[in-house]
């Protein structure tokens, strides 16, 4: 008899479990639980296993559960996955969702920082919302081993429903199209705010994703935001077509590790090899009226260089970048937020411009410096961004 296996085991595993399920023809249910907290939670673990077996109308099964402190949503994901590896059942097993999963995001929200979390590692999901990132990315792509991708879908789906990510926008990075289309049924109906489309090279990939979303939700227009990630020379050449491919695209990100490899260059701290590509992404995004998002900074230990890179990135026109560790979030949020001095100067420019308009004057100046329309536009953007950030904070705190 074949056995369905899901989860992780070993001394270093925390907040997870290992499940082995063998379906039989006689003997009823035999459930073995190994857990350091079996005295307190062993009965509830067995009860959940029995509940899921009953839900899928499985009468005979031998199940081994090695618990390492897994919460119910993790246990349920592992149990369901193990069963589905050896049966033809399709319907999802869903625990009651939390209220926070009903909150929706907005088009113009701040996306300064987005924290990547491996989609098959529940331990780092549990407190991710406390770190202050504007977005939490549950990753189904590069951070998940190929043999674990099926399992990760169940865990990511349950995390969307059961983990409180606080003020963060709930994002999922699916796999590269066309494989990523198979991820969508585990993501779209379950409270995701934004889907990242990796290695995007043309507008047709956007169309495919939106068609799948609309079919899953049975709607004509997708309510789920999209963020294509451009990671190749071909993607850069098609950047504006991608950026303007659909009205639910709110941002474009660039992935510099893959892009550098694609053009045959070594990624450097200075970033000369990617200056053209990053400028193209900024221009394409601005032309399409969406947000340009920079790549991740891969050296967690170099906080000073991260700050320098983030400030240079903002100077190029980007509004945010990726994070691979929580310690990067504060620096990135600070670098991409308007400073008090910037906000005060922007307000002076706008005030002077409004006074000049009231007087019917064609020339605006502050001191000896002439103020032309592009400068006023930049000042208005600074004020608008500060207002959006303030509104986000008010909404998230009640």
pLDDT tens for each residue of 330-371: 999 999 988 777 777 778 787 777 777 777 766 677 766 777
| Residue 186 pLDDT level (bands cut at 50, 70, 90) | very high
State yes or no: pLDDT of 103 exceeds 70: yes
| Residue 389 pLDDT level (bands cut at 50, 70, 90) | low
pLDDT, position 110 = 86
The reported pTM is: 0.88
Q: For the residues 213-226, what does the mean pLDDT come to?
A: 96
From residue 249, alpha-carbon distances to 106, 108, 236, 303 in Å are 12, 11, 16, 31
Q: For the residues 157-184, what does the mean pLDDT come to?
A: 97
pLDDT tens for each residue of 122-158: 999 999 999 999 999 999 999 999 999 999 999 999 9
Structural tokens at position 165: 């990510």
| pLDDT cut 90: percent of the chain above it | 78
CATH classification for the domain delimited by 3-84, as one of 1.10.10, 2.40.50, 1.10.357, 3.30.230: 3.30.230
Q: For the residues 302-328, what does the mean pLDDT come to?
A: 96
Strands 364-366 vs 369-371: parallel, antiparallel or unpaired: antiparallel
Q: For the residues 15-44, what does the mean pLDDT come to?
A: 94
pLDDT tens for each residue of 266-276: 999 889 999 99
pLDDT, position 36 = 87
Could you say which architecture CATH assigns to the domain 99-335? Alpha-Beta Barrel (3.20)
- CATH 3.20.20.60 maps onto the chain at 99-335
pLDDT tens for each residue of 377-387: 767 767 766 66
**d(Cα 236, Cα 362) in Å, to the nearest integer?**
41
- CATH 3.30.230 maps onto the chain at 3-84
Q: Which of 68, 88, 84, 67 has its CA nearest to residue 5?
A: 84
State yes or no: pLDDT of 42 exceeds 90: yes
Structural tokens at position 24: 């039989």
pLDDT, position 368 = 65
Question: In degrees rounded to 5, what are phi and psi of residue 252?
Answer: -125, 135
**d(Cα 165, Cα 67) in Å, to the nearest integer?**
24
Q: For the residues 70-97, what does the mean pLDDT come to?
A: 96
Can you spell out the DSSP letters for 174-208?
Answer: -PSTTGGGGTGGGTGGGT-SEEEETT--SHHHHHH
């Amino acid at each position: 008899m074949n056995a369905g296996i899901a989860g992780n085991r070993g001394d270093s595993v925390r907040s997870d479990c290992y499940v082995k399920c063998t379906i039989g023809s006689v003997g009823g249910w035999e459930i073995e639980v190994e857990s350091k907290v079996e005295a307190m939670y062993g009965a509830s673990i067995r009860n959940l296993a029995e509940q899921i077996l009953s839900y899928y109308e499985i009468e005979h099964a031998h199940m081994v559960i090695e618990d390492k402190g897994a919460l119910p949503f993790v246990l349920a994901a592992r149990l369901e996955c193990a069963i589905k590896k050896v049966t033809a059942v399709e319907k999802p097993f869903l625990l009651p969702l939390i209220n926070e999963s009903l909150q929706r995001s907005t088009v113009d929200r701040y996306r300064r920082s987005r924290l990547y979390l491996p989609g098959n590692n529940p331990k780092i999901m549990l407190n991710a919302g406390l770190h202050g990132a504007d977005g939490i990315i549950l990753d189904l792509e590069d951070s998940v081993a190929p043999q674990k991708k099926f399992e990760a879908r169940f865990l990511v789906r349950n995390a969307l429903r059961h983990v409180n990510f606080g003020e963060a926008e709930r994002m999922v990075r699916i796999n590269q199209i066309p494989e990523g289309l198979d991820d969508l049924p585990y993501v779209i109906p379950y409270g995701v705010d934004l889907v990242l489309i990796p290695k995007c090279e043309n507008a047709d990939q956007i169309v495919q994703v939106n068609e799948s979303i609309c079919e899953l939700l049975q709607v004509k227009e997708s309510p789920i935001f999209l963020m294509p990630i451009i990671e190749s020379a071909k993607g850069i050449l098609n950047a504006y077509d991608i950026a303007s491919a659909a009205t639910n695209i709110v941002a474009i990100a660039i992935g510099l590790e893959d892009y550098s490899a694609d053009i045959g260059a070594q990624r450097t701290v200075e970033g000369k090899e990617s200056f053209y590509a990053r400028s193209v992404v900024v221009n394409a995004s601005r032309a399409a009226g969406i947000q340009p998002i920079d790549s991740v900074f891969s050296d967690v230990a170099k906080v000073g260089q991260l700050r320098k890179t983030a400030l240079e990135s903002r100077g190029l026109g980007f509004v945010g970048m990726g994070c691979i560790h929580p310690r990067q979030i504060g620096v990135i949020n600070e670098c991409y937020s308007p400073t008090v001095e910037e906000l005060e100067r922007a307000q002076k420019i706008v005030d002077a411009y409004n006074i000049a308009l009231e007087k019917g004057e064609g020339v605006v100046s502050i001191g000896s410096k002439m103020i032309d329309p592009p400068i006023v536009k930049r000042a208005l953007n600074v004020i608008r961004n500060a207002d959006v950030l303030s509104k986000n904070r008010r909404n998230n705190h009640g």
